[in-house]
Amino acid sequence: MKQADRKAAIAAYKERKVAAGIYVVRCAATGQQWAGSATNLATIWNRLCFTLRQGNDRRPLLQTAWQEHGPESFTFNIVEQLEDEDPGYTRDRALRERLVHWCKALDAQPM
């Protein structure tokens, strides 16, 4: 890769848009739901699956359900995506507020 191509690729990576928002993980076998917030919705499911496969998730009920019913019983859905224009401190506050809302609305446990 030439240096100009490399610089262009790095610049494109730094300028990419990441979507923040609220997601829900559901276990079809038990009906349990967990809602969480993430500053990058595109990567959170992969991170969650990795910790669950390793047996290192910090939520015992989620980890137990994963081990008992397997990954095929779980679904991941994005329930709300925040606007891109929010600065970091406003976005973090909005994520906390919206997570409380969705936990109540879905009767889900917070992540």
Which amino acid belongs to residue 93?
R
Quick one: average pLDDT of 65-70? 96
Greater pLDDT, 7 or 15: 7
What is the predicted pLDDT for the residue at 102? Answer: 96
Taking the model in full, what pTM does it have?
A: 0.83
Query: Cβ(60)–Cβ(73) under 8 Å?
Result: no
* CATH fold group of domain 17-110: GIY-YIG endonuclease (3.40.1440)
Q: What is the tens place of the pLDDT at every residue in 11-22?
A: 877 777 788 999
Interatomic CA distance for residues 1 and 8, integer angstroms: 11
Which amino acid belongs to residue 29?
A
- Name the phi and psi angles at 13, rounded to 5: -65, -40
Q: What is the tens place of the pLDDT at every residue in 70-100?
A: 999 999 999 999 876 666 778 889 999 999 9
Report the half-sphere exposure of 24 (CA within 13 A, side-chain side).
21
Domain ranges (residues) in the chain: 17-110
